[in-house]
Chains A and B, each alone.
Chain A
């Protein structure tokens, strides 16, 4: 059968389909009023919620560092000198990355519209999803950094209290014992961090992985147009 024969068959079929599903103005108005969110709308909403949550979390971490811990603890905690720049550095990185994402998100939003060319639309959705993915990883990294710093501080404090009472101070701890303490600490910390990271990554891919693959495939198919021109 020739394709041109299909045109007439399609014309008859599609006009019957249109008649069958035709809606009145009131029905269309009703559909508009009861609109549901599309996947991209939901991702967009999640990004904004995510940014809010991360902002609150960052504010909490900074307030906790500067004010809360001093207020709660009766005696000030003693940290080794190397831990202070590590803490400050991680906070600076987190805040800078967060600001970068907020700016990037608004830039994408400004150039995003459903009536642009498909190529631009696909890139816009991919950018939004990539931003969401990175924002998600930022949240994971913030959580992990916080876990590492808190774990290191807790471990140090614990060892210090124990050694103060037993050997007269952490300075008197032998190298082998110090290595054992670090080893045991890492043995707890590494699986905990890796487990948290992979669990969260798996969750993200489960939710959006397939959509990302489909978007990339479609974009790749469109990009072939450039090659076909050559």
Chain B
């Protein structure tokens, strides 16, 4: 079972990295959370039944772990904005427009609650409301309500940055 688990996690590790990236700012926290999620996935793997998609199950365990681990809040946006590591990466990879967008997104997301972060992550990952509801365990209606609130909150926060 361990071999099978390692294979499937290696193939789908992007989900864990994305969750860590939304919830953690520092590399150290990120590594800790990655390991925590990995352990929780391993613990609950025997109970995984193919009733839902593997990615849905993986997102649920990863987000549950991230939300309940309450890692140190992302650094509050200071005058320089996004974390040094992310900024450096952004500088390497994107033009200034994309860099600004990432910078603003990071700053705005850092001010969301754990549940809001999970919803915005799934939204950014292009998940439908139905799947977001299945992963987070809240109703589709409430996902819509919550998403509208998050959009407003993000717009406000990002306008403040602009």
Contacts and interface: CB of A to CB of B under 8 A. Distances in A.
Do A and B originate from a single complex? yes
Interface of A: 1, 3, 5-7, 9-18, 20-25, 28-29, 31-32, 34-36, 38-40, 113-122, 125, 211, 214-215, 217-218, 221-222, 224-225, 228-229
Contacts of A12: 93-94, 98
B13 A28 contact: yes
B65 A114 contact: yes
Contacts of A224: 142
Interface string B146-162: 10000100110010001
Q: For the complex, would chain A's binding face be called helix, strand, loop or mixed by DSSP majority?
A: helix
A28 B37 CA distance: 11
Interface residues of B, number: 63
A17 B22 CA distance: 11
B84 interface: no
Given A28-B38, A31-B38, A114-B44, A17 B10 contact: no
Contacts of B69: 38-39
Given A1-B101, A32-B39, A116-B64, 16 more contacts: A1-B158, A6-B101, A11-B124, A13-B93, A14-B14, A17-B89, A18-B18, A20-B89, A21-B34, A22-B17, A38-B40, A38-B65, A114-B64, A118-B64, A118-B137, A121-B68
A17 B44 contact: no
Interface of B: 2, 6-7, 9-10, 13-14, 17-18, 20-21, 30, 32, 34-36, 38-44, 47-48, 57, 60-61, 63-65, 67-70, 89-90, 93-94, 98, 101-102, 104-105, 113-115, 123-124, 126, 136-139, 141-142, 145-146, 151, 154-155, 158, 162
Contacts, number: 147
A115 B18 contact: no
A33 B75 CA distance: 31
Contact of A222 (B2, B63, B98, B138): B138
Given A1-B162, A28-B9, A229-B139, A113 B17 contact: no
Contacts of B136: 118
A32 B3 CA distance: 12
5 contacts: A18-B18, A32-B38, A113-B44, A115-B60, A229-B141
Contacts of A125: 68
